[in-house]
A and B are shown apart, each in its own frame.
Chain A
Amino acid sequence: MTGRARSARWLLALAGCGLVALAWVVMAVTPSDDATEAPFVVVSQLGERAEGRNIAVTVDRVVAAETLRDQGWEADGDWVVVELDIESVRSESGVLFSWASLQLGDRRYQASERPPNTIFGLPLSTGLARAGAIAFELPEGTLDEARVDGPAEAVLSFAVDREIRLDSLIELTVDLGTLESEATVELAPEAWGDS
């Protein structure tokens, strides 16, 4: 074998390895099927207004409670109460506060429909915020576990439709372990908020 043929063979082997590496990179950076229809996430902070396509949310307070009261209604449990201002940005026809969820690990909880006066499901107004509260009822012991075992990050998310694919989703991360906690929380009444 001549030197020239040998170097050509090395070059081919190198090119082959390069192509395999390139294929691996392409596979690694290819978005998943879900990514093509994932919601557009807007990360929010407590007290900060976050705006998406047709939703603007300001979360004013997140508090844990053992007992939740709502104008005469009352229930014990592991409650996470979220006080917020919410409005639609562009249009209001058929626009409801339809998505409020708390993701903890691989479990997702929807805002409870048990308290009679939460603003979950409320019709929204364009440019005029409604203020009020929603509540999540978690399995018993979840909050105690979070306090003992340390960081338990929960992601709150809000949207104007149950169909969140390719639409704006406002997200706020809270640590259930260090969350402000009260024995009894009275649900904030629904009112006009600050736009």
Chain B
Amino acid sequence: MSGWWRRNAVPLVATAVLLPATFLIIGGSEWNDYFSGRPTQPMTARPGESVELNGVTWGPASIEQLDPPADAELPADAVVYRVTIEVRPAEEAVTCLPPSLHELQGAQREWGSGSYEVDWAGGADSWDSCPIDATEPFTIVVPYLVPADAVGPFAVDIEGVDLIPAFPRLVVEP
């Protein structure tokens, strides 16, 4: 038997190397496609700080709790926050979606822009996402309707097709 092992040592070693390598390369390529096609790499900025991505400066961002007007129809256990984000584009126009608000602790829940539910809470002349063809600095203002038991600090995640798989994550503390 030992003779057989010795005679076939080269193919055996090749099989032992190539078989796992096949799985690693095919699997790795699939996972790479998966992770590079969606926002998976946060570029985190601490409260009051900004982060640079693709030459664009995202942040600083701030958050404030708003008092709803008397006639606003809101759930009893809800809080309205308004997030303001400064963006300084590079020479090329920048695009992004309305940012989402994430709990950094607890259940790590996520909220989208509440500009429909709490339309009074947005900025009057501001954007809740990147304006089209913006090359000058601009401000994104987004309201969020959040249950009162949500605890800060929160992360404001900004997604843009040009940014993927990276994305700016701006931490804000109410």
A-to-B contact residues, CB < 8 Å: 89-93, 123, 125-129, 191-193, 195
Per-position binary interface string of chain B over residues 91-124, scored 1 when its CB falls under 8 Å from any chain A CB and 0 otherwise: 0000000001000000111111000110000000
Question: In the bound complex, what is the Cα–Cα distance between A91 and B109 (angstroms)?
Answer: 6
- Check B125 for interface membership: any CB of A closer than 8 A: no
Residues of B within 8 A of A129 (CB): 75
Expressed in whole angstroms, the Cα–Cα distance for A93 and B73 within the complex equals: 21
Q: Contact check, B109 vs A127: say whether CB atoms are below 8 A apart.
A: yes
A129 CA to B78 CA, complexed, in Å: 10
A–B pairs, 20, beta carbons within 8 Å: A89-B109, A90-B108, A91-B109, A92-B111, A93-B100, A93-B112, A126-B109, A126-B146, A126-B147, A127-B109, A127-B146, A128-B77, A128-B78, A128-B146, A129-B75, A191-B73, A192-B76, A192-B78, A195-B77, A195-B147
- Asked whether any CB of chain A lies closer than 8 Å to the CB of B61, the reply is no
Specify which chain B residues have a CB less than 8 angstroms from the CB of A89 in the assembled complex.
107, 109
* CB of A144, distance to nearest CB on chain B (Å): 40
* B74 close to chain A: CB less than 8 A: yes
Contacts of B73 in A (CB 8 A): 191-192
- Cα separation A125 to B100 with both chains bound (whole Å): 13
Q: Is the CB of A192 within 8 A of B109?
A: no
> Which B residues form the contact surface with A (CB < 8 A)?
73-78, 100, 107-112, 116-117, 145-147, 149-150
With a cutoff of 8 Å between Cβ atoms, the chain A residues found around residue B149 in the complex are: 127
Taking A192-B73, A195-B75, A195-B77 as contacts, is the C-beta distance between A125 and B117 under 8 angstroms? yes
Number of A-B contacts (CB under 8 A): 47
Residue pair B75, A90 in contact (C-beta under 8 Å): no
5 closest A-B pairs (Cβ-Cβ)? A127-B147, A192-B75, A91-B110, A93-B112, A126-B109
Q: Are B110 and A128 neighbours in the complex by a CB distance under 8 Å?
A: no
A126 / chain B contacts, CB cutoff of 8 Å? 109-111, 146-147
Q: Are B150 and A127 in contact (CB under 8 A)?
A: yes
A93 to B75, CA, bound (A): 19
A58 to chain B, nearest CB (A): 14
Q: How far is the CA of A92 from the CA of B74 in the complex (A)?
A: 17
Checking B110, B116, B150 against A93 with a beta-carbon cut-off of 8 angstroms, the contacting residue is: B110
Cα A79 to Cα B74 in complex, Å, equals 31
How distant is the Cα of A89 from the Cα of B111 in the complex, in angstroms? 10
| Complexed CA–CA distance, A128 and B118 (Å) | 13
Inter-chain CA distance A146–B77, complex, in Å, is 41
The answer to whether A128 and B75 touch across the interface, beta carbons within 8 angstroms, is: yes
Inter-subunit contact B75/A92 (CB<8 Å): no
Distance from B142 Cβ to chain A, minimum over Cβ atoms (Å): 13
**Distance between Cα atoms of A91 and B112 in the complex (Å):** 8
